[in-house]
Amino acid sequence: MSAAPVKILVIDGEAAIRRLLRTGFSTQGYEIIDAPNGRAAIELLAQKPDLITLDLDLPDIPGFELLKVIRMRAETIPIVVLSGRDDGASKVQAFDLGADDYVTKPFGMDEFFARVRVALRHQLHAHGERSIFRVNDLSVDLVRRIVKVGQRDVNLSPKEYDLLRVLVQHAGQALTREFLLGKLWSSFTDAQYLRVYVRHLRQKIEVDPERPQYVLTEAGVGYRLRAPAPIARETQTHT
């Protein structure tokens, strides 16, 4: 079971396409918000989607103009253009304005979902993150936001997942309580909140929460997520 599902903003002037994508993405475990025009889409950017699909033929704002606006306001959000225009000039212009991929209508759902996953992985790699983090039996799929210990699915609350993701991003590093509080809460919060979420997270991913092997306490500093062991290189013997 995933925590804090990936949020996708679907911008499309065709109600049938919005319904199709809402149904399809929902079966993949994504959270969907949609907009029938550019103005509604700009308002929904405040909800901080993880990825945007963009139709170029909207009733109010030209698609390329909206693409410019989105890129100015959200530089790193992956954008997959979904358009009936299949000419090379439109594709080139979309990529030049910051689109991450371009899919023409009509389209196959399986291929489209695969392209969405690729765009999400590329975003992680651009920020120096692995799409899947593994250490011992713990695995964190940062694209699908799925956490497992061995074969067991771990159901985390959104805040628990956010804490784990920050630890994953800095695996092996001791993170101060102040740093974690600043990452997880926009306003001042007592360190007791952090201790509560650390305890909850340990109860869900540790075999023995009293003797954690993943989320480790750094005395006088804060917390550290155990880093994966380095891959041993084979040595060759030359005769």
pLDDT tens for each residue of 140-152: 887 777 899 999 9
CATH class of the region 132-225 = mainly alpha
Q: Where in the chain is the domain with CATH 3.40.50.2300?
A: 7-126
Residues 3-13 have pLDDT tens digits of 456 889 999 99
Q: How far is CA 172 from CA 113, 145, 229, 232, in A?
A: 33, 20, 10, 18
Q: Is the pTM of this model over 0.85?
A: no
Q: Where in the chain is the domain with CATH 1.10.10.10?
A: 132-225
DSSP state of 8: E
Mean pLDDT of 173-181: 90
Q: Is the pLDDT of residue 93 over 90?
A: yes
Binned at pLDDT 50, 70 and 90, residue 120 comes out as confident
CATH class of the region 7-126 = alpha beta
User: Do 67 and 85 touch, CB atoms closer than 8 A?
Assistant: no
